[in-house]
Structure 1
Amino acid sequence: MPETNQASEILRVFIADEESGARTFWAMNWNRITPLAGKATDLLPSEEAERFYLCFLRCEGKAPAVPPSALPSLLAAYRNLLPEREKGGYRHHWHVFTFLFGFVEQKTTPGELRDAKTLTERLKLINHLQKFSHLPGMRGKPDGFKAAGMHAPHILDVLRLLGYRSDYGQGENDSYDVVNLTYWGLVFVVLWSKSHRTALLTEMLDEQLDLPKREQIESILHEFVQAVLPACDTDEKAFHALATQLAAKQRARVNLTESVALAQSLDLPFEEGEDWIVSIAAPATGHTAWYKPPNLKLEFRADADYDWSLQLNAGQFRLSERDGYLSDNVGGLPSLGRLADFPAWLHGIEKSHGLRFDLAKGRIFCGKKRSAAKLITRWIESGLS
């Protein structure tokens, strides 16, 4: 730990850098600043400590653990931060702030923060959630979420206060972070609480709720509900009914995708409701490695939010397309546009651009449904003849 004067100077340089608008010191020195955060009121006068905590909240997106003597300064800093939510800043952190502090401006929850011990306990959960890098990882390790059940009532109050959003916006928002990990981690905690999950699911499925990107949110919610469903008691009839309703809604969305339409037209051996994926990769003619350029890769799956994707990388040509939308096109290649047109598209780029790919040296992966590979090969070859 640095000497007191050196530690105080680190915090003061951080404050000056943030307040000047330069905001470069944190990125290079966060590892020096963070261990000092809990001691800010011992290292700085109260007014400076409040300024430090305001800068810290902006940069870290969560509060530090503090002793009881520092809590008033931290709360004052949070109140000074609140007006900035109107400017759209820190939108990915507001659900974290509201969970930790239990209030936002004039809106409060019964769990409004009043002591440092409660803050420490809430931070333990947030720190646990922030260890995950993807949603399937959360669902695959549920023990930490089950153990956090004491937080479920407070989380439900927070989600209600936020309108079940991770930010403070309203209406549709193209930049809304649908897969925010801490948000879904909080939802997962509530779903493991028998006393609270039915209320959460009822309210999130309410069409009157102002949710952006509702279809994508309900798709993710469905996956989390399915993760807890085997542990639900048979007497939870309302929750089971809502889960069935949500599952039917997701199946209907999936059945409208180009991937499912193609699978049905080719009579691929996939069951309704099965989570399947087909991956087709082939090297350019004259090459043998299907997994690296020059190559082509097409994937399609039973997923309403990620229907199909096409990647081509061959010499001067590069193309990236997902669900009919191009994100990269070097060399003027035509868009695939429709998944069902893939064989004709392959034939077309051979004639127009001289691009040819060797399916015999490629790979068609269909999971355990190996018979599907033969049907897909026949489909592709039908457009090349």
Structure 2
Amino acid sequence: MTNTEADLLRTFIVDEDAAFADRRQGRFWPANHHRIGPIATKVSGLLEPEERVNFYFHFMRVAGGPPVVGDKEMPLLREAYRRMMPFLDLEGVIQMSRRHQLLFVFGCDDTGELPSGETTSAAALKARLKLIAQVGSYTTMPAQRDKKAKFVPFAMDAVRILETFRHLGYCHDRRYGEEFYDVTDLRFWGMVFICLLNKATRTELVADMIEGKYQLMRSAEQIAMLHRYVEAVLADAEPDEQRFQALAAKLKGIELARRNATETVALAEKLGLPFDADEDWDIHIAIPLRGTKDHPLIAKNVVRLHIRPDPDWQWELTSRIADRGEFSESDKKSYRNDLGFPTLGRGNLHAFPDWLRQVREKCGIDFDIEASDIRVGRRRAAAKIVSKWLAD
């Protein structure tokens, strides 16, 4: 254990120096972050200038961003950031800092400076870190959209956010290729939300993302997410924002076309389910093993199917048989098959009743369709139609 705050910080630096040489995170930080964090803002009175640069470099790596410092300390913090620039996209090492966040905060990266300039004052640093804290305060996108009022005060920074996105070509994560691109980064989408809350930037943002000016990673998924955020602010659009409204309508059309091309919507139409064209419906089916006494929702021996009209997550089929294992598959791929079940396969959702028969005939597992629990929200008529589909 260290006895003084300075010793604590120096131990952290030494540990991270050695770890970073091997391109890994040190072992001291995880056990002592709660002690280091509170004093990160006052290292100027504890360490020598060169040590402070080293501390800020490692702190940004492991904490995800810089601490709040005074004006006199800004040159050292900026020097630490310049040292970090070549490593922002480093793979194979725990790297909590993200390029788009630090670019917004500091105003530059290794490819240039934002039009609004670098951050040189402590006041500007504090304000920008407050925005980053706001966009990082949520665990889901719906939670962000539900708290729109908390994002509105940051709309004054929307121009700088738009500059940040354009500087990066809307590619906030350069560590990996398209397959592993972090398409759901909540800080990125929180910044998008702020841009959409500013009349001066929302039209340009949407145009940038849907008109082909920038090559978006996993573009279909990003456009789907953008649509949900645009819908959250559309009511705020003023009468003279015809272009924004037209882009929003175009975006909605893109998403509706993707949705209508899914096998889940095709099944709903084939069965004549009473859903509206843009309704966000869910179908939950739970079928217990024949002879099971527990309710299907809590049964240990059961097969479950969840269906949604979401192009990026259409259906998920899972089963569990006590003492034998589990089975799980989605429209994307098969994940686990301890039970030796045949796979349903993408494009074959309509054949789920046939799949149940195959499981019974080939695997000897008889799920009791008559004991099914079918939930379709308030659409009771839809539940009856689904029940008939299973029995046919």
- Normalization by structure 2: what TM-score? 0.93
- Determine which of 175, 183, 187 is the counterpart of 1:178: 183
Aligned mates of 1:145, 1:111 — CA distance in 2: 23
Q: Does residue 1:361 correspond to 2:371, yes or no? A: yes
Which deviates the most, 39-48 or 282-291? 282-291
Letter of the structure 1 residue corresponding to residue 163 of structure 2: D
- Determine which of 302, 310, 313 is the counterpart of 2:317: 310
Aligned mates of 2:42, 2:104 — CA distance in 1: 23
Aligned mates of 1:360, 1:263 — CA distance in 2: 21
- Determine which of 341, 345, 350 is the counterpart of 2:351: 341
Deviation at 1:47, TM superposition (A): 0.3
Aligned partner of residue 82 in structure 1, secondary structure: helix
User: Conserved in 1, the CA contact under 8 Å of 2:63 and 2:97?
Assistant: no
Deviation at 1:152, TM superposition (A): 0.8
Structure 1 residues 238 and 169: CA distance shift in structure 2, 3 A: farther
Deviation at 1:61, TM superposition (A): 1.3
Structure 1 residues 80 and 306: CA distance shift in structure 2, 3 A: same
Aligned mates of 1:95, 1:361 — CA distance in 2: 52
Q: What is the aligned residue count?
A: 379
Aligned mates of 1:205, 1:361 — CA distance in 2: 47
Deviation at 1:324, TM superposition (A): 4.8
Deviation at 1:309, TM superposition (A): 0.6
Aligned partner of residue 337 in structure 2, secondary structure: strand
Q: Any residues of structure 2 matched to 1:313-328 within 5 Å, and which? A: 313-315=320-322, 316-328=324-336
Q: Any residues of structure 2 matched to 1:57-76 within 5 Å, and which? A: 57-76=60-79
Which deviates the most, 91-100 or 265-274? 91-100
User: Conserved in 1, the CA contact under 8 Å of 2:315 and 2:331?
Assistant: yes
Which deviates the most, 245-254 or 81-90? 81-90
Aligned partner of residue 265 in structure 2, secondary structure: helix
Letter of the structure 1 residue corresponding to residue 326 of structure 2: R
Q: Does residue 1:42 correspond to 2:45, yes or no? A: yes
Match in the other structure for 2:22:
none
Letter of the structure 1 residue corresponding to residue 198 of structure 2: S
User: Conserved in 1, the CA contact under 8 Å of 2:288 and 2:302?
Assistant: yes
- Determine which of 223, 232, 241 is the counterpart of 1:218: 223
Aligned mates of 1:225, 1:107 — CA distance in 2: 30
Aligned partner of residue 326 in structure 2, secondary structure: strand
User: Conserved in 2, the CA contact under 8 Å of 1:111 and 1:154?
Assistant: no
Aligned mates of 1:169, 1:222 — CA distance in 2: 26
Q: Any residues of structure 2 matched to 1:181-200 within 5 Å, and which? A: 181-200=186-205
Deviations 1:92-127 (A, max 9, x none): 711111111111024111141110111111111111
Which deviates the most, 104-113 or 53-62? 104-113
Match in the other structure for 1:207:
212
Deviation at 1:369, TM superposition (A): 1.3
Which deviates the most, 18-27 or 236-245? 18-27
Structure 1 residues 116 and 218: CA distance shift in structure 2, 3 A: same
Which deviates the most, 204-213 or 173-182? 204-213
Identity over aligned residues, as a percent? 36
- Determine which of 12, 15, 19 is the counterpart of 1:14: 12
Deviations 1:2-47 (A, max 9, x none): 99x6101111111111111161111111111111111112110000
Aligned mates of 2:370, 2:220 — CA distance in 1: 39
User: Conserved in 2, the CA contact under 8 Å of 1:296 and 1:312?
Assistant: yes
Deviations 1:232-270 (A, max 9, x none): 112210000000001000000011111001001101111
4+ residue runs over 3 A deviation:
86-92, 359-362
Deviation at 1:362, TM superposition (A): 3.2
Deviation at 1:328, TM superposition (A): 1.1
User: Conserved in 1, the CA contact under 8 Å of 2:307 and 2:316?
Assistant: yes
Deviations 1:142-170 (A, max 9, x none): 01111111111111111111111222369
Aligned mates of 1:344, 1:307 — CA distance in 2: 19
